[in-house]
Structure 1
Amino acid sequence: MFSKFALARAFTSLSSRDPRKDPRSVQLGLFRHRGVPCRLFTVLAVESSADDTCAAVVTSSRQILSNVVIKQHDLHEDFGGIHPTVAIEGHQRNMPIAVQRALHESCMSIQRIDGIAFTRGPGIGGCLSVGSNAAKTLAAALGKPLVGVHHMQAHALTPLLTSPPEERPQFPFLTLLVSGGHTLLVLARSHSSFRILANTVDESVGRTYDKVARMLKMPWGARGPAAALEEFCRQDIDDRSIPEIRPFSVPMPRQLAFSFSGLHSAVERHIFRSEAPLTEAHQHAIGRAFQDGAARQLSEKLVQCHSILRDEGIDVRHVVVSGGVASNLYLRARLRDALNDYSPDCRISLIYPPIELCTDNAAMIGWASMHRFLTGDYDDYSVELRSKWSIETISGDPGHLLDQL
């Protein structure tokens, strides 16, 4: 195991330039810095906060050596949402398989892993416990350091792993976190310092997407109800007999807060008032009106938030959008249009993780843990879960090395 001082020195050399990798670097865990072979720090990470069982191997040079995601959509579709007991049982079956696959696909043995990371919270308590127990047991048995990660922090930092250097967001940046459990606008000041600017007062946008998809009887498919609804709305269905649906209003105008329960209720009332069973064209019209309402609210609050930060003298040039709903291509286009209209003369960069890393995954957990491993800031093997955990209460920045990642 490395000392914290050796790790810090190694990391300083790691981050001073983009190294030229030896052809065998993936197998050996080595790269060359100024002609001298140097050791990478390699993390095995697990994630089980909701209904995806995930394991990944990530290195300090931004390599994702493996990224395994085992979904449970087929187990939960009949329940209309995540059933906690079923999800826990699914994680218990799948976690050993996910870890084994992650190690195999990375060509790494467990002995060559330097640290173990896991999602400590927030999430469904019983689901979190499966990943936590797996990570703690592996770390304790092998004598490896352990780090528990905040789930939404990991979503926010993913573009620091995946974006090329010229597109990488610079602190401070604004991040819109949109998922099945959260809708947050957050100012990211460093890897571990966050300020919540807007939260949802009721349900998250991802949960509302799921509910509307179920009301419109969308089949879940391989990606879940929200993705099925988006795909359905992209289809070209023309039926002029369907009356135009008036745009749904944006709640709490000029307030930095989200609310999606009203949008959900408006869709429900519209369906209830329909005298005949919905035709495909009517489903399509309702789905598009819902997507428009959700995108308008997210866009308006994002622009409002950026304007407030500008008035405070905080120069934000990058906006990161992450979480499962960030994979929605319609939302991406609407956010881009909104920022272009708001700041036509000074382009604000809008940055997303790759679509496959928007939804829950362990690669983001491994990367979010890296700065703590490299500064020797580990958790005890007895560290407790935090199923409810504000991103503002993550421990303070342990040092200047964080901003070199």
Structure 2
Amino acid sequence: MKVLGIETSCDETGVAVYDTDAGLRAHALYSQIALHAEYGGVVPELASRDHVRKLLPLIRQTLAESGLDVADLDGVAYTAGPGLVGALLVGAGVARSLAWALDRPAVAVHHMEGHLLAPLMEDDPQGRPQPPFVALLVSGGHTQLVSVEAIGRYRLLGETLDDAAGEAFDKTAKLMGLPYPGGPQLAALAERGRAGAYKFARPMTDRPGLDFSFSGLKTQVLLAWRDSDQSEQTMADIARGFEDAVVETLAIKCERALDAAGCETLVVAGGVGANKRLRARLAQMAQRRGGRVAFPRPAFCTDNGAMIAYAGALRLLAGQHEDASVKVTPRWDMATLPEVV
């Protein structure tokens, strides 16, 4: 089955073709970072308009790179939520129209399920992770620990009570004067920081439970920054202290989640999943426990069409698809999804 995947939930336009026999055939991504940089964050209306401009050319490009004609597609998958309603409607409208014109099935994909399943696309010497496993979904909008009992059967173990980890990275970078989007730049700056020069709290690790909170950590960094000499080395040291605190907090909670779920396989996805120090720390933890941790390649940690094509292919193979109406769900609980059987 050859499935076209369309991702337009926020500020990146992603398109891919996934073939259930041959794997990922082609993918393309357009980022709107330059468009939103002068505003210091995503402007929903501008995001929607840019998806309108970029989506059809990206579909043509991706199909050409895959060696397929539009008539060769067996189905279309699109992100229906969660996300910005206008941006979602662009992808849903194009996907539904294309599916109707081709008389092919279309399936709505949950954005976070796409992230969760992204590591399963990768070739792994140990084989693709199979449920049951624990998933850490860690991005600019979400920080969640999920027990995956089967594809489509998810149980939330813990989530952030305020800022997501990626959001905390971006806001911390902004208060230190780094340009938008600051999270990746803060992580790069931390590479030059001295370990232990600044030590910040590991929020909510001194009590039981699997929820997260990063707003207090952000405040600690702000106070440290204001009281410092604000030199380049000090900035790097504070960035390192902040990153170490986030990474250690995530690792502690992941280990607790594995204990709670009674399994030794961890899957990590979302933009922060590309962080080198987080990958190394979680790999170390998994090795110590005799388990395993699986990541997608860094390019598939951020929003992309490949994860939507893959998740959609699984659901289309299971006979799931939508009617002809164009519907999106900006707020969508992943626990409500039907199981893939």
TM-score category (smaller protein): over 0.9
Q: Which residue of 2 aligns with 1:142?
A: 102
Shift of 1:284: 0.4
CA contact (8 A) 2:28 2:58 kept: yes
Are the aligned partners of 2:200 and 2:217 in contact in 1 as well (CA < 8 Å)?
Answer: no
How do residues 5-404 of structure 1 correspond to structure 2 at under 5 angstroms? Answer: 41-61=1-21, 63-164=23-124, 166-220=126-180, 224-235=181-192, 244-251=197-204, 253-274=207-228, 276=229, 278-310=230-262, 316-341=263-288, 343=289, 347-397=290-340, 399=341
- Find the aligned partners of 1:190 and 1:232 in 2 and give their Cα distance: 39
| Contact kept in structure 2, 1:49 and 1:121, CA below 8 Å | yes
Aligned partners of 2:84 and 2:100: how far apart in 1? 24
Structure 1 residue 83: Cα displacement: 1.4
Cα distance in 1 between the residues matched to 2:40 and 2:111: 24
Q: CA RMSD in A?
A: 1.8
Structure 1, unmatched stretches of 5+, are 1-40, 311-315, 400-405
Residues 44, 57 of structure 1: 8 Å contact kept = yes
Secondary structure of the residue aligned to 2:126 is: helix
* Aligned AA (2:182): P
Q: Deviations over 1:142-182 (max 9, x none)?
A: 21110000111111111222133633102101110001110
Task: Indicate the percent of aligned positions where both proteins have the same amino acid.
Answer: 34
**In structure 1, what is the Cα distance between the partners aligned to 2:233 and 2:69?**
53
Describe the SS at the equivalent of 1:301.
helix
Show CA shifts across 1:333-383 (max 9, x none): 122233445x2xxx1101101111111111110110112211322111215
Instruction: Determine helix, strand or coil for the equivalent of 2:104.
Output: coil
8 Å contact from structure 2 (residues 258, 265) kept in 1: no
The residue type paired with residue 390 of structure 1 is D
Structure 2 contact 4–77 (Cα < 8 Å) conserved: yes
User: What one-letter code is carried by the residue in structure 2 that aligns with 1:48?
Assistant: T
| DSSP-derived class of the 1:166 partner | coil
Contact 2:168 2:218 in 1 (8 A): yes
Deviates more, 1:86-95 or 1:44-53: 86-95
Amino acid at match of 1:292: D
Partner letter of residue 394 of structure 1?
L
1:267 alignment partner AA: V
Tell me what 1:11 maps to.
Answer: none
State the match for 1:9 in structure 2: none
* CA 1:235–1:272: 2 relative to 1, 3 Å: closer
Residue 376 of structure 1 aligns to a residue in which SS?
A: coil
Between the aligned partners of 2:36 and 2:225, the Cα distance in structure 1 is: 24
The TM-score with structure 1 as length reference comes to: 0.80
Instruction: Give the SS at the match of 2:15.
Output: strand
Q: Which is worse superposed, 247-256 or 56-65?
A: 247-256
SS at match of 2:183: helix
SS in 1 for 2:242: helix
- 8 Å CA contact 2:138–2:164 kept in 1: the answer is yes
Q: 1:384 deviation in Å?
A: 1.8
Supply the distance in 1 between the matched residues of 2:100 and 2:126 (Cα, whole angstroms).
39
**Distance in 2 between residues matched to 1:56 and 1:208, nearest whole Å:** 30
TM-score of the pair, normalised by structure 2: 0.95
**Is the 8 Å Cα contact of residues 42 and 58 (structure 1) preserved in structure 2?**
yes
Alpha-carbon offset, residue 82 of structure 1: 1.2
